[in-house]
Structure 1
Amino acid sequence: MSRARLNIFLERDHARRLDELAAMKGLSKSSIIAAALSSFLSPDSGDQREAAIAKRLDRLSRQLDKVERDQNILIETVALYVRYFLTVSTPVPEAHQEAARAQGRARFEQFIEQLGRHLLRGRSLVKDVYEEIQPEERQFFGLDASTGDHRPATPADSKTEAAP
């Protein structure tokens, strides 16, 4: 295959990045430029770019659908809790309202502190509560039974937990 020699001018940043890529991949700069030019001049390069963009958009759409689903679950959960709380809460007599407010402030401060600690740990409260209710089901979430750390479940896990 015969090749034509070209002298081209590149911006300094592009030349630096080309040098780095050639060194990292162990390829010649000419082969990298030839591959890039071939891809650019390919008749279906536009279709390939469009397909790649469509694939990314589909993935983003699925992720957004999951976020929307999770948000709806959260909204419904909070609404159900508020409705239940307001339904079963007894009114506080006038004489005890100041003490109830003080206790409410203290509970709210405690709630905020617990929330902060929990967020710093980076674990899901749903998983924690589920583990409290069903401790034998820890492998359901891929958790190490001794530390609570995430790890892949192995076939040995089911044998170990099945043995009394």
Structure 2
Amino acid sequence: MSKGNRIKHTFRLPPALSRQLADFAGRKRVSQASVVEAAIASFLSPDGSERLEAAFSRRLDRISRQIDKLDYHVEVGNEAFALYLRRWLEVTPALGAGASAAARADAEKRFSHLVEALARRMETGKHLSDELIRREPQHDEAENGQ
């Protein structure tokens, strides 16, 4: 603002705040009135708080989408494991006491193969959830008679 276009205000400040104002103005080598003017303008300006709120809102939206995606992948993993376990229990007979040592050795070997297959699949970047997403539109079209 120009100096000729100003209105005088009188107000009181607590001693501690007055000292802070004087110290700040002295360090910045500006008048106390200009510090008060800038502080009031900043406080009354909606732009700063609205920009900050918009930035937080965008960040929260992005985090929310990431959590939704993570939730979907965890759910797919849980369902896939449940289906696998149910099928495994259906087709795998219980073993007798005499076959336990051989069965354990075979189980270790089969588990090792599973871990290797899982590692290969994770390295390729192919994921079950991606396959499900690609198959969903075809599944929906079949249900709709298309």
Instruction: Return the TM-score normalized by structure 1.
Output: 0.46
Name the CA distance, whole Å, in 1 between partners of 2:75 and 2:95. Answer: 33
Aligned to 2:50: 47
Aligned to 2:76: 73
Name the CA distance, whole Å, in 1 between partners of 2:129 and 2:51. Answer: 41
Name the CA distance, whole Å, in 2 between partners of 1:54 and 1:127. Answer: 28
Residue 64 of structure 1: CA displacement? Answer: 0.5
Distance 1:118-1:76 versus aligned 2 partners, 3 A rule = closer
Aligned to 1:123: 125
Aligned to 2:112: 109
Name the CA distance, whole Å, in 1 between partners of 2:53 and 2:96. Answer: 67
Aligned to 2:17: none
- The reply on whether 1:86 has 2:89 as its aligned counterpart is yes
Q: Which runs of 5+ in 2 are unaligned?
A: 3-26, 29-37, 136-146
Aligned to 2:63: 60
Q: Higher relative contact order by CA 8 Å / sep ≥ 6: 1 or 2?
A: 2
Greater fraction helix: 2
Name the CA distance, whole Å, in 1 between partners of 2:120 and 2:76. Answer: 23
Residue 76 of structure 1: CA displacement? Answer: 1.9
Q: Which runs of 5+ in 1 are unaligned?
A: 3-7, 10-36, 131-139, 142-164
Identity across aligned pairs (percent)?
A: 35
Name the CA distance, whole Å, in 1 between partners of 2:82 and 2:118. Answer: 19
After superposition, what is the alpha-carbon deviation per residue over 1:48-91, rounded to whole angstroms, capped at 9, x for unaligned?
A: 11011112101211211121122122112212221221122212
Query: Of 98, 103, 106, which aligns to 1:100?
Result: 103
Name the CA distance, whole Å, in 1 between partners of 2:78 and 2:129. Answer: 19
Name the CA distance, whole Å, in 2 between partners of 1:53 and 1:127. Answer: 30
Paired letter, 1:102: A
After superposition, what is the alpha-carbon deviation per residue over 1:77-118, rounded to whole angstroms, capped at 9, x for unaligned?
A: 212221221122212233333222111111112222333344
Distance 1:44-1:99 versus aligned 2 partners, 3 A rule = same
Instruction: Return the TM-score normalized by structure 2.
Output: 0.51
Structure of higher CA gyration radius:
2
Name the CA distance, whole Å, in 1 between partners of 2:85 and 2:119. Answer: 22
